[in-house]
């Protein structure tokens, strides 16, 4: 189980894209929370281009699109050969809606006494835990992702979330070169789309 979460964290920092299953077209529908087409159009955010590998299954509708600003936190730790190298520790970011209002925070379970992996917690207290990342490279930045919702809690916007997309990434890549000890933070921005079933 620990190895699985280590792989999830590694993929969040930047891993090669696995060979995807044939993409399923994004879900349709006319829910009031979003357009359901995977474009991010339901929140007033500028639509993002979504690679087909990161499309969500039909029947899921966009419930929140938000812009994030924060850091990817890296820890100096031995790699497979025993050489000290920067490895992803956890993200830390704030998410904003199109009007600039804070709507959620993003963090790693390791920093909150929770099971490993990435989390998003909305201002209404609801929370979603991401798992099983599928990635697409974003040259010069951390990769684009689609994650499954491993579990949720609370009663709010994230309670019914099924998928999360990380899009339009900028920055966040681990420092180049060797390290000796400690942690470092690398600034990044991204857009996050959250989907749920009606």
- The whole-number average pLDDT for the span 140-160 is 98
Structure tokens at 147: 């994650």
Query: Residues 167, 144: contact at Cβ < 8 Å?
Result: yes
Note the pLDDT tens digit of each residue in 36-95: 444 444 444 556 889 999 999 999 999 999 999 999 999 999 999 999 999 999 999 999
Percent of the chain with pLDDT strictly greater than 90: 73
- Full-model pTM: 0.79
How much is the pLDDT for 145?
98
Give the closest residue to 144 by CA, choosing from 1, 6, 14, 5.
14
Give the closest residue to 128 by CA, choosing from 112, 151, 105, 108.
151
Does the pLDDT of residue 120 top 90, yes or no? yes
Note the pLDDT tens digit of each residue in 10-30: 455 554 433 333 333 333 333
Strand pairing report for 141-153 and 161-171: antiparallel
Percent of the chain with pLDDT strictly greater than 70: 76
Question: Which of 34-43, 148-157, 175-184 is predicted with the least confidence, judged by mean pLDDT?
Answer: 34-43
How much is the pLDDT for 177?
84
How much is the pLDDT for 178?
86
């Amino acid at each position: 189980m620990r190895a699985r979460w280590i792989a999830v964290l590694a993929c969040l920092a930047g891993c090669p894209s696995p060979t995807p299953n044939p993409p399923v077209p994004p879900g349709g529908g006319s829910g009031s929370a979003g357009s359901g087409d995977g474009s991010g159009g339901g929140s007033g955010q500028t639509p993002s281009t979504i690679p087909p590998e990161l499309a969500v299954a039909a029947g899921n509708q966009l419930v929140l699109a938000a812009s994030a600003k924060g850091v990817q936190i890296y820890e100096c730790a031995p790699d497979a050969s025993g050489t000290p190298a920067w490895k992803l520790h956890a993200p830390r970011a704030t998410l904003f809606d199109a009007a600039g209002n804070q709507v959620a925070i993003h963090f790693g379970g390791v920093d909150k006494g929770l099971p490993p992996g990435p989390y998003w917690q909305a201002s209404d207290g609801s929370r979603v835990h991401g798992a099983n990342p599928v990635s697409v490279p974003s040259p010069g930045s951390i990769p684009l992702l689609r994650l499954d919702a491993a579990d949720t809690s609370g009663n709010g916007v994230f309670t019914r979330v099924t998928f999360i997309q990380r899009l339009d990434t900028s920055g966040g890549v681990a420092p180049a070169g060797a390290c000796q000890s400690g942690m470092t933070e690398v600034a990044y921005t991204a857009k996050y789309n959250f989907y749920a079933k009606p």
